[in-house]
Chain A
Amino acid sequence: MSDGFGADLDKEANGNARRRAPGGRLRTLAHLFSGLFSVRSEKSAYRIRLAAWVFLAVYAVIAAKLIDFGLRPDLPQTVKRAAADAIAAARPDILDRNGEILATDVKVMSVFAEPRRIIDKDEAVELLTAVLPDVDAHELREKLGSRKGFVWVKRGITPKQQQEVYRLGLPGVGFLPENKRVYPNGPIAAHVLGFANLDGTGISGLEKYIDGQGLADLHGAGFSLTPENLQPIRTSLDLKVTYAVRDELAKGIAKFKAKAGAAAILDVNTGEIIGMASLPDFDPNTPPDPHDLEYINRLSVGVYEMGSTFKAISIAMALDLGKVTLRSRIDARDSLRYGRFTIHDFHATHRVLSVPEVFTYSSNIGAARMALMAGVEAHKAFLNKMGQLSRLRTELPESAEPIVPKNWGELNTMTIAFGQGLNVAPLQAMMAVGALANGGYLITPTFLKRGEEDVKTQSPRVIKPETSEAMRYLMRLNAEIGTAKIADIQGYFVGGKTGTADKIIHGHYSKDKVFTTFMAILPADKPRYLYLALLDEPQGLPETGGYHTAAYNAGAVAGKMIERTGPLLGLPPRPDLPVQPFPLLAKLGYAEANQPAKGGGEH
């Protein structure tokens, strides 16, 4: 074989030699070739130059083509590219505190069309609307008539519909898998979750919050995120507790024929909202018009006069500023006059009351007098410190500014002391009462799971621990002998405060329309949870003696909530009362605080 190769080479060499012999053009050509293939050193520079030119030409062609690609504006856009912008983006799952699913993505098929590729548009419209009856024919014709490269025909179709559309065999009509947001629990925790629209953009609630945390930016930048690389969001809610809260609230609203209501459970040590409901609510799978005021979150968007619940804050202020002690006596013999206004007591006693009595009788006069002792400026400063005068911001994008009187005079201080004239969001009031209970730390409520560590060190202290303990004692006393008796669930050492505010109808306080609230802490000695129940316009019932004050309705709802959710929250009921629930008060010389109060009668 090697001989053969050698022979070929020889032949070629001979041929070159032969061609050189006849002159003329052939000679010059041969000369060129011989120059090309010769090994003589003086010719090599020429060859190198030639090779360089050839390579340069090739690179020039490549560069020109690249520039051409870069400059060409109207690249044929593939369906995939167009669809990537159009299909609903993946969203992270939302879980409850125990890992139960509150919101998740499922894959659904959507039908799309490429109008440019559809030949007979009228036929396509006819066939598609026959298979997908809920697609508007007129609208579809318009969409297909447009010059767009990509339009949706219908999103989220069933597998059966997909088969039927597929069988139509229309050119330019195809399917794309999309993410659809589903909320398996329906209306439970709807106000916290909010909802996302068809394109996977959060519209309200935590869904919107998630978008605000950078998810929307990532989608906008073209990152296609899959559910696998999205960390699920863990909320502070407990699904079962939330359900129980909503169930009891719904029962309460039905029983007392209230217009609306809300309820929540706050962990006073971490600020987590464990359960909440605001009725009427909605199913996030079929969201209502976001501007419908009927469905607002009454805990954070509604602002209300909280009524007597605010007396807790007023008394805490007077105690904390040292204006009164638990043994001080407040004159409530007569109605309090201020200019042409008179402040009455609902449960009028017409005698001098001790500070605990002011609380348990829910004396407007007593609370007003205590606020006056502190003075207007101190009152304002204290409420500001408690976060009652500025908008409370949580993870939920929906929030409302409290309605604060513009010219805050002595009269305002007097009425605000017992909860009239200052409208706050109930969640805001819960934050303040939580601070009164938990030892004095103002912890911003959260809807996301949070650990107990660091929360207290990061949160500002607003009242002294002694004041907090005195407030717990007063709330406990109120549950033993005062207005909160209805929610004194045996075994949980509950403390509570009622609040009944007359509603303002046409600028006047209505006599028969009320807004009732109830706050309960449990256990009162080492508080863990704060319960809130509020009802809008509850009616008196024959079994409540026709009364529509908070103790009979909101209190009853809160009591039911405590009874039902206590075991779910892992609180063991204690058969015996704690031996020394309020050690700080005992040290300060109020030994009676640790004795269970007896009698006291109905007030």
Chain B
Amino acid sequence: MIRIMNILAIAALIGSAIYAYTIKYETIFHAETIVKLQHEIKSEQDKIGVLRAEWAHLIRPERIQALADKFLDLQTIALTQIVKADALPAKAPRVDAIGRKLEALGLAGPTNTPGNNIIDPAASATPGR
């Protein structure tokens, strides 16, 4: 009985030692990961800083104006072009421009297909033979 207790005690001792060591090594591993990540974060932050500076350099008004003058067909806004919202004209009645064009083409009217047997040379679109 006592022998079993001893064996158990030794086993518990070895087990707890192994467990403690595992914990210790895991801790070291995690600590190293943290340091590594911190370094990575630092380097990312440095990169962000560089990119921010670069972005600010690229969107500096001087450059944007030069580019706009070169590539855009725009002119400086005149003060007369700025009006209050209530100075805008009332909304015009809605116009269906495409529908009107289609109407002008006469597509809505009865069509003269050969199958209709109504021979109307004036309305026929194809030159008659």
Chains A and B bind each other: yes
Q: Which residues of A contact B (CB under 8 A)?
A: 1-2, 100-101, 104-107, 177, 182, 184-186, 188, 227-228, 239-240, 243-244, 247, 489-492, 563-564, 566-567, 572-573, 575
Q: Which chain B residues border A573 with CB–CB below 8 Å?
A: 79-80, 82
Q: Are A188 and B60 in contact (CB under 8 A)?
A: yes
Q: Is B113 an interface residue (CB 8 A)?
A: no
Q: Is B105 an interface residue (CB 8 A)?
A: no
In the bound assembly, the distance between CA atoms of A573 and B62 in angstroms comes to 26
In the bound assembly, the distance between CA atoms of A228 and B49 in angstroms comes to 11
The answer to whether A188 and B62 touch (CB under 8 A), given A105-B49, A107-B50, A564-B76, is yes
**Beyond the given A228-B45, A239-B61, could you list 18 further A-B residue pairs with CB under 8 A, ordered by the A residue number?**
A1-B3, A2-B6, A105-B49, A107-B50, A182-B57, A185-B61, A243-B60, A243-B62, A247-B65, A490-B79, A563-B79, A564-B76, A566-B79, A567-B79, A573-B79, A573-B80, A573-B82, A575-B83
Select from chain B the residue with minimum beta-carbon distance to A492. B79
Q: Which residues of B contact A (CB under 8 A)?
A: 2-3, 6-7, 45-46, 49-50, 52-54, 56-57, 60-62, 65, 76-77, 79-80, 82-84, 87
The answer to whether A107 and B49 touch (CB under 8 A), given A188-B62, A240-B61, A243-B61, is yes
Q: Which chain A residues border B6 with CB–CB below 8 Å?
A: 1-2
User: Smallest distance from the beta carbon of B66 to chain A beta carbons, Å?
Assistant: 11
Q: Are A186 and B82 in contact (CB under 8 A)?
A: no
The answer to whether A106 and B62 touch (CB under 8 A), given A490-B79, A491-B79, A575-B83, is no
User: Smallest distance from the beta carbon of B49 to chain A beta carbons, Å?
Assistant: 6
Interface centre among B77, B79, B87 (most CB of A within 10 A): B79
A and B contact pairs by CB, cutoff 8 A, 27 listed: A2-B2, A101-B56, A104-B56, A105-B49, A106-B50, A107-B46, A107-B49, A177-B46, A182-B53, A182-B57, A184-B60, A185-B56, A185-B61, A188-B62, A227-B45, A227-B49, A228-B45, A243-B60, A243-B62, A244-B61, A492-B79, A566-B79, A567-B79, A573-B79, A573-B80, A575-B83, A575-B87
Q: Which chain A residues border B54 with CB–CB below 8 Å?
A: 184
User: Smallest distance from the beta carbon of B54 to chain A beta carbons, Å?
Assistant: 8
In the bound assembly, the distance between CA atoms of A566 and B77 in angstroms comes to 11
Select from chain B the residue with minimum beta-carbon distance to A490. B79
Contact of B53 among A106, A228, A247 (CB under 8 A): A106
The answer to whether A186 and B49 touch (CB under 8 A), given A490-B79, A572-B82, is no
Q: Are A106 and B56 in contact (CB under 8 A)?
A: no
Q: Which chain A residues border B50 with CB–CB below 8 Å?
A: 106-107
In the bound assembly, the distance between CA atoms of A185 and B7 in angstroms comes to 77
How many A-B residue pairs have C-beta atoms within 8 angstroms? Tell me: 70
Q: Which chain B residues border A182 with CB–CB below 8 Å?
A: 53, 57
Select from chain B the residue with minimum beta-carbon distance to A228. B45
Interface centre among A2, A106, A563 (most CB of B within 10 A): A106
Q: Which chain B residues border A244 with CB–CB below 8 Å?
A: 61
Contact of B56 among A184, A247, A489, A492 (CB under 8 A): A184
Select from chain B the residue with minimum beta-carbon distance to A5. B6
User: Smallest distance from the beta carbon of A8 to chain B beta carbons, Å?
Assistant: 15
User: Smallest distance from the beta carbon of A479 to chain B beta carbons, Å?
Assistant: 15
Q: Are A101 and B87 in contact (CB under 8 A)?
A: no
Q: Which chain A residues border B65 with CB–CB below 8 Å?
A: 243, 247
Interface centre among B49, B56, B65 (most CB of A within 10 A): B56
Q: Are A186 and B79 in contact (CB under 8 A)?
A: no
Q: Which chain A residues border B7 with CB–CB below 8 Å?
A: 1
Q: Are B57 and A184 in contact (CB under 8 A)?
A: yes
Q: Which chain A residues border B45 with CB–CB below 8 Å?
A: 227-228
Q: Are B87 and A104 in contact (CB under 8 A)?
A: no
User: Smallest distance from the beta carbon of A523 to chain B beta carbons, Å?
Assistant: 13
In the bound assembly, the distance between CA atoms of A104 and B57 in angstroms comes to 11
Q: Are A489 and B49 in contact (CB under 8 A)?
A: no
Q: Which chain B residues border A105 with CB–CB below 8 Å?
A: 49
Q: Which chain B residues border A491 with CB–CB below 8 Å?
A: 79-80
In the bound assembly, the distance between CA atoms of A188 and B61 in angstroms comes to 9
Q: Which chain B residues border A1 with CB–CB below 8 Å?
A: 3, 6-7
User: Smallest distance from the beta carbon of B116 to chain A beta carbons, Å?
Assistant: 62
In the bound assembly, the distance between CA atoms of A182 and B57 in angstroms comes to 10
User: Smallest distance from the beta carbon of A162 to chain B beta carbons, Å?
Assistant: 14
In the bound assembly, the distance between CA atoms of A177 and B45 in angstroms comes to 13
User: Smallest distance from the beta carbon of A405 to chain B beta carbons, Å?
Assistant: 43
The answer to whether A100 and B79 touch (CB under 8 A), given A106-B50, A185-B62, is no
Q: Are A186 and B52 in contact (CB under 8 A)?
A: no
Q: Are B84 and A106 in contact (CB under 8 A)?
A: no
